Structure 1
């Protein structure tokens, strides 16, 4: 049967446990170095703890080593990789092809940072020994389906969380504006800054808006289509998010994916265990910049978040009237004191807390800036957050028990839902029970108990109930049997696809441009061995990016503001994005339906602008 995986982020051990308990089939976590989220690094020892906990449920652990490497970093990168392998990780997620050349005894996944966007590229990566390709987030269902059909590698897609507006692994905007590079795990997220849109004559068309900030992804209602397209792994973004976000969002997607699998008997989930939340999951109540399916149905407008790059939360309604220190909303809403709200007004976003609620009348902590017509959102639901914090959600493995008593002794055998079993026995003389029915009932009750183990005994069979077994002995044997079953689960190896590199595989192009990210001799050798003849010096090593394309994107500002060139835009000539002294010329490839940013010389700021 084909397996389907729900893949959750983990910042550290604690959040990994939360993800597993909430129902993840796999977690991805950063090593000590060379991960695309520098702030989410973990030691090999910490990751070994994650592996130990996760493998009990058949949950896989994927470690991220998905940054570009310099030549002098290769020895340390290899040491880090091998430490992670020794820690028991099931796969390494990599961007730099140098790691492919290190003959690591582990499954390799091609990170989204490789910028996996085409069937040809995905097919090549499978031939080059990658067990899985992780796709770019800007792809449509049609494009994803074509990639799945073209490659024998597993296909992983992001289904929830933040979206990089530029193609992953091909964005150099952060490095152009600072000394922090997204390809080195330290993106400063300049795409979330306020920008001015300026024409070639210096006229400001839009001022102070977050023109490159896009809404967050939510494909929870499209999982069935992705499964049918051939997708194996459904990935939630958020290695920097808190435990509440992970618990809530993973529980939501667990439920949604289980519904999809229930309608497709030929598919099964990739791990085992039941996770029943003690709260009602709702991703709108965790960090979100507003929900979007992005370009899943093709490129379209309405995916940007111009007003704020911060979490706006769930939309409640609009302000109908403001008077004194309170305001009235235009509809009923389940708001409460302590909730955090933000109001989107023509002059910007106003954030505050609620002090009191009387019907539709809301008294905020501060009223300044709140105007009639403002859109009201709740970005902190106090009661829901408390429910998350108090959650004691557990994950259990359904198990059945068999108690067999005879004159010579008693055996307790526990068998889990995958057929693994363990027994505990005592060879002791037993006497006949005075009340066989009561004795059998006691044995059944003792065997049903599972305490704080990972097992939930759902079914018990008692044979030989006419032989009296002390309750204390039955409990002791049940504990031993469950402990033995746990050892079996911990010691059982998971399946992996550790593939060799086929040196005869040909890269889809004979040329790699400067955004191809070849930054060390091992990566260069990899591409040349696979037929690449010309490799430009990478932008990551360029002393200056002036005049270079620092971002290529499926997102288009023209489309977003209703000025698409293919639909007769009134805006002609060059357009620029400006933030402070930084200036970038926008390019529009209408045939490919892509936008580019080219770095211009930095502007000279007068004293007034500097202040």
Structure 2
């Protein structure tokens, strides 16, 4: 039976963070090149990406480069150039948003459809598969039932986010940042308008909610749903966070590696997508790293409390409540006595939620049981909750106590009475052998000689953990410990040479390209069965058509016409967001949940002088924001 590979896919802001993610168990990475990434502050040189791909190769860990923004006509050639460089650097795939690239001159590398392509329906998924995508990155808002339906109607790989920040709008369909600031989310420059504070008013101007982060969602955490997601057809489990720091990535990746390994160990149908096991190192604590509180969103097909409340920024883990606080006016310090749930240590970052919902933060300068002294003047009432958003000791632990990722290697030693041959087979299938020329002295104590061979051969060398499978060939000779260690190190070096052989790498790349060519629409020719699927429909700005290639693709698919992208020709009033999240549900005003009091609609979100109309598509259980 062929095992299904399950991939833990981690974000990498840069090469150093990518290496840390691999060291903590990531099977694959996604990273931006110099341009066209959906996080414009997370670009990298192609040289760094090549070095990262080479590092990942040691463990069979892949690197995917993102070109996941919409592109203007003048940028297509540059995108083609970066795509070719990514292929030559050893990237295993490209993650793209702009469908115009399907008609561009791209290298023979698999293309993954970004979550920015808004994959929420079977129809969208089937179209993208037929266009040649090798993997679909599904919308975060899907339920297990919806994922199963897409799996039943497609054959490509399916990827799902399992952890990290949530956009309130369907990905690729948010234009609020562009409207407010001229910074486009579809161009990697989102201003995060969903994390801002708003008033909520009704059609008569009555204030319903004042100055709250009404659009800010908690962070996603689907750790407990890994078995169900795998059963539903997900093969890649993605962590969000290409702007996150190295400690966040270490902690979260190590946590999900442990969860995935536990599941794989319990179900013989699955295996990891890369090689190597982790030994030792820090114990992950996802609650101690950046989060706005956690939600499983719509994965079980039910709504919950998705809003992050006052925590549009991370407040961290709850550690206790204030019993009293005294400000030392001479020294500018505040002495806080608290009822502790967890002990706060010197150097920890702590925060409190103020009366107006603002987050007040400080650093614990001196701590004793039940006492925190900070170097700031902050007035705190009794009962105020204290949170720790920076755990000083845990950060040091992650820095100094990293796990070691090693590859399992089996050894067979043969002695023919003259020479010794040591054969090694790595868990990735690579084999190597070395010869030790005799003659060797006869062992006066054969049992001790065999024990010495096993003990020394089964030590680790670099990234290899050796296990003796057999010691054959009759009575074993005596070998000095130094000679046995040299034999083990030589076979490790031989494995390195074979596994890093550029000819092998090239062959794998060519094989991947050949496989991809079977599915690809690289020629720019739309498959016959897709022609006319839009049946004369007009593609609005929601199609994100920002160049001639994407426009022609839609025309080839049967569209009558295609409007220009919002970033090029914004409508006077437009649908700025469509969301599974609903403010009326969050506020207990949902008619489906039994709320029957009259509401003067439409409702409005107000931020300063800007006013946004809300509409509620109750049939599809969606909220729409216009402006």
Q: Same fold (TM over 0.5)?
A: yes
Displacement after TM superposition at 1:79 (Å): 0.6
Q: How many residues align?
A: 597
Displacement after TM superposition at 1:580 (Å): 2.6
The corresponding residue for 1:58 is: 60
Displacement after TM superposition at 1:346 (Å): 3.3
Match of 2:51 among 49, 52, 56: 49
Match of 1:140 among 117, 140, 143: 143
| Cα distance between partner residues in 2 of 1:112 and 1:359 | 47
- Once structures 1 and 2 are overlaid, which stretch shifts more, 508-517 or 393-402? 508-517
The answer to whether structure 1 residue 387 and structure 2 residue 397 are counterparts is: yes
| Cα distance between partner residues in 2 of 1:128 and 1:548 | 29
| Cα distance between partner residues in 2 of 1:490 and 1:202 | 68
The corresponding residue for 1:593 is: 621
| Cα distance between partner residues in 1 of 2:284 and 2:378 | 33
- RMSD of aligned alpha carbons: 2.2
| Cα distance between partner residues in 2 of 1:582 and 1:456 | 62
* CA displacement, residues 156-184 of structure 1 (integer Å, 9 cap, x when unaligned): 00000000111101101111111211111
Displacement after TM superposition at 1:370 (Å): 2.0
The answer to whether structure 1 residue 336 and structure 2 residue 345 are counterparts is: yes
SS of aligned partner of 1:221: helix
| Cα distance between partner residues in 2 of 1:200 and 1:139 | 32
Unaligned runs of 5+ in 1: 600-611
| Cα distance between partner residues in 1 of 2:354 and 2:143 | 33
Assess, with a 3 A threshold, how the Cα gap between structure 1 residues 225 and 525 changes in structure 2: closer, same or farther. same
The corresponding residue for 1:519 is: 546
* CA displacement, residues 543-580 of structure 1 (integer Å, 9 cap, x when unaligned): x4531111111111121112224432543222222223
Q: Is the 8 A contact 1:165 1:213 kept in 2?
A: yes
| Cα distance between partner residues in 2 of 1:508 and 1:150 | 17
* CA displacement, residues 292-346 of structure 1 (integer Å, 9 cap, x when unaligned): 1122223524111231311111233443555664444455323223221222243
The corresponding residue for 1:554 is: 580
Matching of residues 417-456 of structure 1 within 5 Å: 417-451=427-461, 453-456=462-465
SS of aligned partner of 2:41: helix
The corresponding residue for 2:612 is: 584
Q: Is the 8 A contact 1:135 1:156 kept in 2?
A: yes
The answer to whether structure 1 residue 573 and structure 2 residue 601 are counterparts is: yes
| Cα distance between partner residues in 2 of 1:290 and 1:508 | 42
Match of 2:36 among 5, 10, 34: 34
* CA displacement, residues 445-498 of structure 1 (integer Å, 9 cap, x when unaligned): 3322333x2111133633355334444443333222112222333345377451
Match of 1:100 among 99, 102, 117: 102
Match of 1:85 among 87, 108, 113: 87
Displacement after TM superposition at 1:363 (Å): 3.8
The corresponding residue for 1:22 is: 24
| Cα distance between partner residues in 2 of 1:382 and 1:389 | 11
* CA displacement, residues 30-59 of structure 1 (integer Å, 9 cap, x when unaligned): 111111111111122211111111111111
Match of 1:414 among 403, 406, 424: 424
Assess, with a 3 A threshold, how the Cα gap between structure 1 residues 353 and 584 changes in structure 2: closer, same or farther. same
The corresponding residue for 1:202 is: 205
The corresponding residue for 2:130 is: 127
Displacement after TM superposition at 1:200 (Å): 2.8
| Cα distance between partner residues in 1 of 2:199 and 2:280 | 45
Moved over 6 A (4+): none
| Cα distance between partner residues in 1 of 2:540 and 2:257 | 41
Assess, with a 3 A threshold, how the Cα gap between structure 1 residues 295 and 328 changes in structure 2: closer, same or farther. farther
Q: Is the 8 A contact 2:281 2:404 kept in 1?
A: no
| Cα distance between partner residues in 2 of 1:569 and 1:223 | 40
Match of 2:260 among 257, 262, 276: 257
Match of 2:406 among 378, 396, 410: 396
- Once structures 1 and 2 are overlaid, which stretch shifts more, 517-526 or 456-465? 456-465
| Cα distance between partner residues in 2 of 1:341 and 1:312 | 8
Displacement after TM superposition at 1:74 (Å): 0.8
| Cα distance between partner residues in 1 of 2:352 and 2:576 | 34
Q: Is the 8 A contact 1:133 1:154 kept in 2?
A: yes
SS of aligned partner of 2:155: coil
The corresponding residue for 1:166 is: 169
| Cα distance between partner residues in 1 of 2:433 and 2:62 | 27
